[in-house]
Amino acid sequence: MIPLLHDFADERVLVFGGGPVGARKARRFAREATVVVLAPAFADEAFDGAQRVRAAPDAAAVSGWIDRADPMLVVAATDDESLNAAIEREARARDLLVNRADRSEHHGPDDVAVPATIRDDPVVVAVATDATSPALSRHLRGEIEATIDGAGAVATASAAVRDRLQGRDLDPDSRRGALRTVVSSDRVWDAARRPETDTESVALAVASEALSEDDAPSE
């Protein structure tokens, strides 16, 4: 599989299953999409604003629920393997994306794997093991979380520096070198991890030092 990022803004996700797995899937997608969770009962967990519909569809009723919800993605997360198979089958018949929580192997281009994700917006890092070791994915996520702490602020500050440099008469190599210095600078990362510090100003100062005085961006 090749990892891709997909924008779910203004899209709908239909989750079959209200247990812990369904709740986790709902939380994952609710940050962008409108999420509907369909289940006869719901776990005592957060669903993060997802619409919960209490119903117990059998295999024959799945198609009707999918047609009414009109989702981009269907998640099969029930504890009934045959029902999950019916959900997958009906989603595929409509050329919809499908994520089946009870199966590790993938059978087609519509299959969606949901990796362990670390966010420090706008930075997103995903870790997947092709379902061979979810425990390792969780371990790596914890390791990476500490590494990218502050990465969002560094990304935003480096984008501001890039915009400032693009307005100056600089050769591309000098501009790229200054940006590489900014994103690898301990001063910039330290600033990004202190909320009271203006990371952009620190990044501009670092870029100035990386360029000759005549080419330095003004703060």
Per residue in 20-58, pLDDT tens? 999 999 999 999 999 999 999 999 999 999 999 999 999
Q: Do both 17 and 98 map to the same domain?
A: yes
Q: What is the pLDDT of residues 135-151, one digit of tens each?
A: 898 899 999 999 999 99
Counted domains in the chain: 2
pLDDT for the residue numbered 40:
96
Q: How many residues does the chain have?
A: 219
Where a domain ends, among 98, 114, 130? 114
pLDDT of res. 70: 97
| pTM (two decimals) | 0.79
Q: Are residues 156 and 110 in the same domain?
A: no
What is the three-class DSSP state of 53? strand
**Alpha carbons 219 and 166: distance in angstroms, whole number:** 14
Q: What pLDDT does residue 105 have?
A: 66
Q: Are residues 21 and 108 in the same domain?
A: yes
The reply to whether 17 and 101 lie within a common domain is yes
Looking at the structure, do residues 95 and 171 belong to the same domain, yes or no? no
22 within some domain = yes
**pLDDT at 110 exceeding the cut of 90:** no
Amino acid, res. 144: I
* Domain containing residue 50: 12-114
pLDDT mean over 185-213: 93
The verdict on residue 95 lying in a domain is yes
Question: Residue 135 domain-assigned?
Answer: no
Helix (H, G, I), strand (E, B) or coil at 194: coil
Residue 108 has pLDDT above 60, yes or no: yes
Mean pLDDT throughout 163-185? 93
DSSP character at residue 2: -
CATH code assigned at 43: 3.40.50.720
Task: Tell me phi and psi for residue 13, to 5 degrees.
Answer: -120, 130
- Average pLDDT across the chain, whole number: 91
Give the β-pairing of 116-120 and 34-39.
Answer: unpaired
- Measured CA to CA, the distance from residue 191 to residue 27 in angstroms comes to 31
% of the chain beyond a pLDDT of 90: 78
4-25 pLDDT, tens digit per residue, is: 889 999 999 999 999 999 999 9
Residue 119: inside a domain: no
For residues 96 and 74, give the distance between their C-alpha atoms in angstroms, rounded to a whole number: 7
Pair 110, 155 in one domain: no
Does some domain include residue 157? yes
Q: Are residues 22 and 100 in the same domain?
A: yes
Q: Is the pLDDT of residue 214 over 50?
A: no
- Asked if residue 164 and residue 75 are part of one domain, the reply reads no
Secondary structure of residue 11 in the 3-state scheme: coil
Distance of alpha carbon 100 from alpha carbon 111, whole angstroms? 8
Residue 219 has pLDDT above 80, yes or no: no
- What's the pLDDT tens digit per position in 74-104? 999 999 999 999 999 999 999 999 999 887 6
